[in-house]
Amino acid sequence: MSETKTKVGIVGATGYTGVELLRLLAHHPQVSVAAITSRQEAGKHIADYFPSLRGVYDLTFQAPDDAQLDQCDVVFFATPNGVAMKEAPALLAQGIKVIDLSADYRIDDITTWQHYYKMEHASEEWVAKAVYGLSEWKHADIAQAQLIANPGCYPTCVGLPLLALLQANALNSSSHIIADCKSGVSGAGRKAEIGTLFSEAGDNFKAYGVSGHRHLPEIRQTIAAFNPDIAKKFTFVPHLTPLIRGMHATIYVELNEGIDALQVLQEAYQDSLFVDVMPNGSLPETRSVRGANICRITAYRAPETENNQWIILSVIDNLVKGAAGQAVQNMNIMLGLPENTALNCMPLLP
Ligand SMILES: NC(=O)C1=CN([C@@H]2O[C@H](COP(=O)(O)OP(=O)(O)OC[C@H]3O[C@@H](n4cnc5c(N)ncnc54)[C@H](OP(=O)(O)O)[C@@H]3O)[C@@H](O)[C@H]2O)C=CC1
Ligand SMILES: CC(=O)N[C@@H](CCC(=O)OP(=O)(O)O)C(=O)O
C-alpha cells in the first residue's frame, strides 16, 4: 500500500519543529516521509541523530539540494525565516504543495514584512497566493491551497480566542486589547543563542520584544480581517519563561454590554476537534496541552469592574498547535483527509 501514500519532504528536519513533524507523521497512515534535510548533518542516519526515532524511520539527512524534494507531493519548510521564500517557488512551480512553518508568507503587506524581518522578500508573488493556515478559521481556503503560511505560535494562541469574539462582534469599539504572553524556550528554536542557555533562561523570567515583536503585525493582520479599527488598538508583550514547551496568553478585552465571553467561545468552538473551551473557574495550564495539538481556552469576567471587562486565558504547546501540529492539520485539510489524522496524541503528564 505504501505506493499510494503521500510523499512528504521536510526541509530543516534537525530543528525543533522538524523533529516534531517527524514525531507526528510517524503515526500518519497516509503519509510516507521520503526526504529530510539538514546542511550540517547531511549523510547522517536519522537514528544516529535522534535516538527518539530509532526504529521508526530508515532515513538519512541530505543537503537540501540533494534531497530530491521535487519527487515529493508535500514539502514542509521547518526552516528559519528567509529560507522558504527563496527555495519554495521552484517546488510550487512544479505543482508541489508547500507548508511553510516560517513567517515568509504570513504578512500580506510586503513593506511591513520587510520592516519586521529585516530582509528583502524574495518571492512576493507567492505571498498573495498563500493561505494563512489558522486551521479552525480557514478550512475552505486551506483545502484549495497550494501554499500554506503556517501561523506563528503567539498568533495561534492569541488568535483562536480573539477571532471567536470578533466574529460575534463582541468587542466594544473603545476596547483596547492587551495580550500578555509567555513562551517556553523551544520557541526560539534549536540554534545556539545565549538567551536560551539553561544558565540564562533557567530560574529566570523576562519580557522581550516589547518595542515591537515580529508577531505584532501578524496578529494585527488577523484582527484587521474582522475589524480594522480594533486592530489598531492592540498591545502584545511576549515573555520568556523557563519552560521547554508551552505558551500561555492572558488577554484583556472590554466587551459590549451583556456579552458573556465564555458563552461566545463555547458556541464558536462547540464542534472543534482541537480547541477546548474549559468551563467557568478552570485554569488552563501549559502541561494540559504538552505534546498535543490542542488549544485550551477559558474566560473570566474581571472582578469588581464597572465595564464589561474580561480576562481570556489560552494555552498551546508552541511546537504542536503553535507549529508542527497545526502544519499537519493543514496538510490533512489540503489532502482531504480527516483533520485529526495522526493528531490524536494525548498531552504528556506530569
Ligand atoms: N520553535 C517554535 O516553537 C516555532 C517555530 N516556528 C518557525 O518554524 C521555523 C523552524 O523553527 P525551529 O524548528 O524552531 O528552528 P530550528 O532552529 O530548531 O531549526 C531550523 C532547521 O532549519 C535548518 N536550516 C537552517 N538554515 C537553513 C537554510 N538556510 N537552508 C535550509 N535549512 C536550513 C536547520 O538545519 P541545518 O542548519 O543543518 O540545515 C534546522 O534543521 C522557524 O521559521 C520558526 O520561526 C513557528 C512556530 C513555533
Ligand atoms: C521564545 C521565543 O524566542 N519565541 C520565538 C517565537 C517565534 C516563532 O517561532 O515564530 P515565527 O515562526 O514567527 O518565527 C520568538 O519570540 O521569536
Q: What is the pLDDT of residues 170-179, one digit of tens each?
A: 999 988 999 9
Burial of 133 (0-12, 13-18, 19+ CB in 10 A): buried
Segment 9-19 shows an average pLDDT of 98
CA distance 248 to 180: 8
CA dihedral 72, 131, 222, 124 (to 10 degrees): 90
Which amino acid type is present at position 8?
V
What pLDDT score does 107 carry?
A: 98
Q: 255 vs 235, 262, 267, 304, CA distance in Å? A: 16, 12, 16, 15
Q: How far is C-alpha 71 from the geometric centre of its chain's CA atoms?
A: 26
Which amino acid type is present at position 201?
A
What pLDDT score does 191 carry?
A: 85
Task: List, by residue range, all CATH 3.30.360.10 domains of the chain.
Answer: 154-319
Does the domain spanning 2-151+322-335 belong to CATH 3.40.50.720? yes
Active-site residue numbers?
A: 153
CA distance 285 to 114: 35
Q: For residue 62, what is the DSSP state?
A: B
Please determine, for residue 2, whether its predicted confidence score (pLDDT) is greater than 80.
Answer: no
CA distance 160 to 325: 15
Please determine, for residue 80, whether its predicted confidence score (pLDDT) is greater than 90.
Answer: yes
User: For residue 92, which of 131, 140, 60 has the smallest C-alpha distance?
Assistant: 131
Ligand 1, CB within 6 Å, residue ranges: 11-18, 38-41, 64, 78-81, 83, 101-102, 152-153, 186-187, 189-191, 318-319, 322-323
Q: What is the pLDDT of residues 102-116, one digit of tens each?
A: 999 999 999 999 999
Q: 222 vs 16, 141, 144, 154, 214, CA distance in Å? A: 26, 15, 20, 12, 14
Residues of the chain with pLDDT > 70, as a percent, come to 99
- The answer to whether residues 193 and 256 touch, using CB atoms and an 8 Å cutoff, is no
Strands 131-132, 74-77: pairing kind: unpaired
Q: What is the pLDDT of residues 231-242, one digit of tens each?
A: 999 999 999 999
Distance from the CA of 152 to the center of ligand 2, in angstroms?
A: 7
Domain 154-319: homologous superfamily in CATH: Dihydrodipicolinate Reductase; domain 2 (3.30.360.10)
* Number of residues in the chain: 350
> What is the ipTM metric for this complex?
0.98
Ligand 2, CB within 6 Å, residue ranges: 81, 102-103, 152-153, 183, 185, 187-188, 214-215, 238, 240
Q: What is the pLDDT of residues 133-152, one digit of tens each?
A: 999 999 999 999 999 999 99
Distance from the CA of 180 to the center of ligand 2, in angstroms?
A: 15
pLDDT-derived band at 1 (thresholds 50, 70, 90) equals very low
What pLDDT score does 3 carry?
A: 54
Give the lowest-confidence range in 39-53, 92-106, 186-200, 231-245: 186-200
Q: What is the pLDDT of residues 205-257, one digit of tens each?
A: 999 999 999 999 999 999 999 999 999 999 999 999 999 999 999 999 999 99
Which of the listed residues 106, 153, 210 should we mutate to test ligand 2's pocket, taking the one with most ligand atoms within 8 A of CB? Answer: 153
Mean pLDDT computed over every residue of the chain: 97
Which of the listed residues 79, 113, 196 should we mutate to test ligand 1's pocket, taking the one with most ligand atoms within 8 A of CB? Answer: 79
What pLDDT score does 193 carry?
A: 86
What pLDDT score does 306 carry?
A: 92
Task: List, by residue range, all CATH 3.40.50.720 domains of the chain.
Answer: 2-151+322-335
